[in-house]
Amino acid sequence: MRLDDLLFSQGFGTRRQCTGRVQLGQVALEGAVCTDPARDVDPEGLAFSVEGEPWVWQERAYLMLHKPAGYECSHRPGAWPSVYTLLPAPLRRRPGAGKLNGVQAVGRLDQDTTGLLLLSDDGAFIHRMNSPRRHVPKVYEVTLKHPMDEAQCGRLTAGVRLDDEPRPVRAAAAERVAERHLRLTLTEGKYHQVKRMVAAVGNRVEALHRSRIGALELTPDLAPGRWRWLSPQDLAALAPVA
């Protein structure tokens, strides 16, 4: 693959901009500056840097972000900044197949919800993870306004009525970790689902944090606002659902 094509595939601008970047000496391959845009490179596992920023070629991007509160999962947010501004520009510009451009969030979290958010530019992966038929379990740590009793907790797994849902909506699991701390596992992704379910049993969500998707946990070393690539082990942990 030509070096400028490789840069283009990773989101470093238009083809022309990528050619220019190489000619200007902004790109180093395995530590050595290369100014030939036509240089033939093997992309598999290639380590390169652009303006001193290290990158490794990835055919498709799979990443996790520790979403902080105060960010919207939208490219065109209303009142709050977009989660996409927490990512480096090339991840937002990677040319995608079909309509996808750049990485997209796998489902959405509310502005005030924190925790694990997956992003990818692989449309099939996003579709599989979001498909209601796959029942991918998502675990939420819920801080409650009032203490939750066993009866309320039981109603969450037995099923509660939400206004616009024709059938009762159930949690796959509900565990009282402490008086005001509930661990809720959902296999669907309905609008404001946790908040509405908790309200339906007469309580209220004070804070919401997603700690896990499938077998993949948010790693404690990832501070709010930080992202990292998913490792082959992470992808394997998602494999039963992905």
Burial of 240 (0-12, 13-18, 19+ CB in 10 A): exposed
* Strand 114-120 with 205-213, pairing: parallel
d(CA 49, CA 31): 8
Nearer to ligand URA, 63 or 116 (CB): 116
- Within positions 96 to 155, which residues make up the interface with ligand URA, using CB under 6 A? 109-110, 113
Torsion of CA 126, 132, 137, 142, to 10 degrees: 100
Considering the candidates 110, 122, 149, 164, report the single residue annotated as catalytic: 110
d(CA 20, CA 112): 41
Stretch that binds ligand URA, among 20-28, 31-39, 149-157, 186-194 (CB under 6 A): 186-194
Nearer to ligand URA, 200 or 208 (CB): 208
Number of helices (H), then strands (E), in the chain? 7, 13
Nearer to ligand URA, 50 or 64 (CB): 64
Binding mask 196-225 for ligand URA (x = CB under 6 A): ------------x-----------------
Task: For the CB of residue 123, give the shortest distance to ligand URA in the complex, in Å.
Answer: 22
d(CA 93, CA 180): 42
Binding residues for ligand URA, total number by CB under 6 A = 8
Residues making contact with ligand URA (CB under 6 A): 109-110, 113, 192-195, 208
The residues carrying an active-site annotation are 110
